[in-house]
Structure 1
Amino acid sequence: MMLIEPSNTTIIYRPITENDLPAAHALSQALRWPHRLEDWQFVLRLGAGFVAEADGTVIGTALCWQQRERHGTVGMIIVSAQHQGKGIGRELMQRVLDQLGERCTHLIATQAGQPLYERLGFQPTGTICQHQGTLTGFPATQLPAGASVRLAEPGDLAAIIALADRGAGMSRGDVLKQLVTVAEGAVLERDGQLAGFALLRRFGRGQVIGPLVAPDTDSAKALIAHWSDACAGAFVRLDVSGDSGLGDWLAQAGLAQVDSGVAMSRNGAPEADPALRQFAIINQALC
């Protein structure tokens, strides 16, 4: 589909390809997003999307990810500054929503983007707080008797996926199988059973911890603290739910809150297991 701007510039919308990623990366850099080209490549391998093009230049992007038959996520919604306010973002969003169909769809909205998403049928479901900084060391944590944290092993993957599904309220198997190829894992064992996990991987300016699923805040702290030695003195990021109870504790470790977003859903909302929580998301695209 082509649209004509008032300036007579033709806007072309087409599926995004691997060849578009350097231009997409440049758009995100202009917004001071931390994503590396490798981070763009990773999320595109998992999903699909569209670009808006003007005079042969990519001026906008939108990606989406199918979380099996019932759920999907949307992210990497960018329109260059000089082309904003012309309906390009809405057109890109409509295209990825059409691709997801009637799936319950989730995204993390910026304050600027929230009004558009509300007009497209999204409703707020919570907040996400971005914590990051140079890690100085996590405060001491204590687990109850019978609980411990260890490195994940290949044989833990099925249990990790099951926990991720329950904690997020949607199928995460396809995403997790790809994440573990670029991440290390820590698991929480309680009475011989896996009860939580946290993944650590390279992203943006340093390392990111997420997703993180645990039964309670103390368990979540223990899983994060497992990475204290590996990340000491490094730049670390976590995107945690606003009601996680982790904010002050993370700030004590040098990971201040630097931003926040609104979690939103369309066609319903996630139905997470009340006995588990996703304390930290994968990222603000894959959620």
Structure 2
Amino acid sequence: MAAIDDIPVVQLGVEDAAAGLVLSTEAHWNQNEDDWRFFLREGVVFGVHDGAQLVATAALLPYSGNNAWISMVLVTASHRRRGLATRLVDTCLETARKRGLTSWLDATPAGAAVYGPLGFTPTLQLRRMRLERSTRGAAAPPAPATLDALCARDRRTTGFDRTALLTAFAQRSGSRIAAASGSIALVRDGRIARHIGPVLANDAATALTLVDAIAQSESGPLLIDAVASQKEFLEGLATAGWTTERPFQRMRFGPATKAGEEPPFAVAGPEFG
């Protein structure tokens, strides 16, 4: 192959969704092709090819308030440890700088060791947790809620306007928005498991009640990305049989922006924030 510095970084299009899915599947991530299409349509996705093969990617997804999420940082196994991820993240950061955006990402421990020296500041921590289910629960599903209610609560919680993202999630086949006792959550399909998030609530007890009702009405494995500082919520999930798969460190590059009024109990996923 050519030297890494000689391979151009290019901007990808929606037609590259299937090739991106190959990379995230190799990494055992939960993203499906709908997730890739959203990033390619609403964000800026950069890639590196070796011949016809897409071997590395990174995406920048703008949100409101001069914020953006860096996601989909992926390198195929045969091309790792050659500086491609750093090069692509630098490209995202330069694009964000030109647009006056503060960049955020959710990093694995290995990724955090790379992003820290680039100037990223750690903020909150996440825990990806998994619940296995082999048969459909007997409980009735929790009450449905409206997309408008979810978007309004999400804006209040995060400080970002993510109407486009949440609308795309809600319109997918199999997605649902559930609510109970002042809490609200979105459930959607992933490649290997259904994902619950965001989960927004007034307190841990009501958040746990809603998540348990969702779990009892689902079949197959479930994933949730819980906020580590919500300790009562994490403890309740563990008691209910959820197990921790991996931690994530949320990090920020650039000036602090307006914070939300209340922390979430679980996020929409490390790739979406």
TM-score of the superposition, structure 1-length normalised?
0.82
Q: Which residue of 2 aligns with 1:172?
A: 162
| SS class of match (1:125) | strand
| CA deviation after TM superposition for structure 1 residue 69, in Å | 4.2
Q: Which residue of 2 aligns with 1:116?
A: 114
Q: Which amino acid aligns with 2:144?
A: L
Change beyond 3 A, Cα 1:187–1:46: farther
Indicate the structure (1 or 2) with the bigger Cα radius of gyration.
Answer: 1
Alignment of 1:40 onto 2:52 = no
The answer on whether the counterparts of 1:168 and 1:270 sit within 8 Å (CA) in structure 2 is no
Q: Deviations over 1:72-92 (max 9, x none)?
A: 101110122222232211221
Q: Which residue of 1 aligns with 2:138?
A: none
| SS class of match (1:203) | coil
Q: Report 1:74-89 matches (<5 A).
A: 74-89=70-85
Change beyond 3 A, Cα 1:222–1:268: farther
Alignment of 1:242 onto 2:228 = yes
| CA deviation after TM superposition for structure 1 residue 150, in Å | 2.9
| CA deviation after TM superposition for structure 1 residue 256, in Å | 0.6
The answer on whether the counterparts of 1:133 and 1:256 sit within 8 Å (CA) in structure 2 is yes
Q: Which residue of 1 aligns with 2:139?
A: none
| SS class of match (1:278) | coil
The answer on whether the counterparts of 1:67 and 1:170 sit within 8 Å (CA) in structure 2 is yes
Q: Deviations over 1:88-131 (max 9, x none)?
A: 11221122222223322211111221133123221110211010
Change beyond 3 A, Cα 1:188–1:269: farther
Q: Distance in 2 between matches of 1:36 and 1:174?
A: 18
Q: Report 1:19-98 matches (<5 A).
A: 19-98=15-94
Q: Which residue of 2 aligns with 1:223?
A: 210
The answer on whether the counterparts of 1:220 and 1:279 sit within 8 Å (CA) in structure 2 is yes
Q: Distance in 2 between matches of 1:132 and 1:271?
A: 31
Q: Deviations over 1:185-225 (max 9, x none)?
A: 11345xxxxx4310011112121110111121112112212
Q: Which residue of 2 aligns with 1:184?
A: 176
Q: Which residue of 2 aligns with 1:143?
A: none
Q: Which amino acid aligns with 1:56?
A: A
The answer on whether the counterparts of 1:215 and 1:277 sit within 8 Å (CA) in structure 2 is no
Hey, which of these two has a bigger chunk of helix by percent? 2
Q: Which amino acid aligns with 2:145?
A: A
Q: Distance in 2 between matches of 1:242 and 1:46?
A: 29
Runs ≥4 residues deviating over 6 A: none
TM-score of the superposition, structure 2-length normalised?
0.86
Q: Which residue of 2 aligns with 1:132?
A: 130
Q: How many residues align?
A: 262
Hey, which of these two has a bigger chunk of strand by percent? 1
Change beyond 3 A, Cα 1:38–1:158: closer
| SS class of match (1:243) | coil
| SS class of match (2:265) | strand
Q: Which residue of 2 aligns with 1:278?
A: 264
Change beyond 3 A, Cα 1:10–1:273: closer
Q: Among all aligned residue pairs of Structure 1 and Structure 2, give the percentage whose two residues are the same amino acid.
A: 24
The answer on whether the counterparts of 1:186 and 1:226 sit within 8 Å (CA) in structure 2 is no
| SS class of match (2:150) | helix
Q: Which residue of 2 aligns with 1:14?
A: 10
Q: Distance in 1 between matches of 2:272 and 2:105?
A: 8
| CA deviation after TM superposition for structure 1 residue 164, in Å | 0.4
Q: Distance in 2 between matches of 1:60 and 1:273?
A: 33
The answer on whether the counterparts of 1:134 and 1:234 sit within 8 Å (CA) in structure 2 is yes
Unpaired segments ≥5 residues, structure 2: 136-141
Alignment of 1:104 onto 2:90 = no
Q: Deviations over 1:157-195 (max 9, x none)?
A: 333222101211222222222222122111345xxxxx4
| CA deviation after TM superposition for structure 1 residue 252, in Å | 3.0
Larger mean Cα displacement after TM superposition, 259-268 or 249-258 = 249-258
Unpaired segments ≥5 residues, structure 1: 138-148, 190-194
| CA deviation after TM superposition for structure 1 residue 56, in Å | 2.6
